[in-house]
Structure 1
Amino acid sequence: MPGKCVRTEQSEPPPVPEIGTLMVDVSRDRVGEFRGEWCGWWCLRPVCGGTEWAVMPEAVQLARPEERLRAETARANARSRGELL
C-alpha cells in the first residue's frame, strides 16, 4: 500500500547509538547527527543545522571515516561563516 510503512521481517533492532554520533540515512543518502529515538524511529539532524528528520533504524548506518571528515569540515566551515552558534 503506498504511503504506509510496513515492516516485513521481525529482526532485532540495532543498538541505539550515543547522541551526537554521525550516521548515514541510506534511504536519503544524507549524513546526520543522531539526536534520539522516538516511537521506534531514530531522529537525525543535519550536521550544519536545520530540521531533524525521522528514519527507521534499519535504514541507518554509522558514517564512514570519509563521510565523518566531510561532515565535520562542513560544520567547521559553517561555523566560520557565522551560520552556526
Structure 2
Amino acid sequence: MIEEDPGVPEAGTYAVDYRDGSVGQVMGCEGGLVQLRPLGGGREWDCPPESVGEAPAGDVLRERVRRLNRERRLP
C-alpha cells in the first residue's frame, strides 16, 4: 500500500511525476506503481514510486490555472 512507503505521497494528495514534470492527484497503488490522475480529471497514468514526489503548492496552483485557461479557450 502507498501509506506504508514513506517516500510515496498518500492517496488524495497531489504529486509530481519527475519523469516529465506532470502534476496529478494520487489515486492509489496498483502492481507496484503509483496511479496519478490529472488535476482536471481524465485518464490516470502509472508512475514508478521512485519517480513520484509530493507536489509543491505552487505547482498544483499553476496546473489548475493552466487547466482553467484551456477550458476558457474552448468554444
Q: What is the TM-score of this pair, normalised by structure 2?
A: 0.72
Q: How does 1:1-85 map to 2 (within 5 A)?
A: 13-74=5-66, 77=68
1:16 shift after superposition: 4.3
- 8 Å contact kept, 1:14–1:57: no
1:59 shift after superposition: 0.2
1:61 shift after superposition: 1.0
CA distance in 2, matches of 1:44, 1:51: 9
1:74 shift after superposition: 4.6
Q: What is the TM-score of this pair, normalised by structure 1?
A: 0.64
Structure 1 runs of 4+ aligned residues shifted over 6 Å read none
CA distance in 2, matches of 1:43, 1:20: 11
Q: Which has the higher contact order (CA 8 A, sep 6+)?
A: 2
Query: When you count helix as a share of all residues, which structure comes out higher?
Result: 2
1:21 shift after superposition: 0.7
1:20 shift after superposition: 1.7
Structure 2: segments with no counterpart, 5+ residues: none
CA distance in 2, matches of 1:74, 1:57: 26
Which region of structure 1 is more displaced relative to structure 2, 65-74 or 27-36?
65-74
**In terms of Rg, which structure is larger?**
1
Counterpart code for 1:20: G
Structure 1: segments with no counterpart, 5+ residues: 1-12
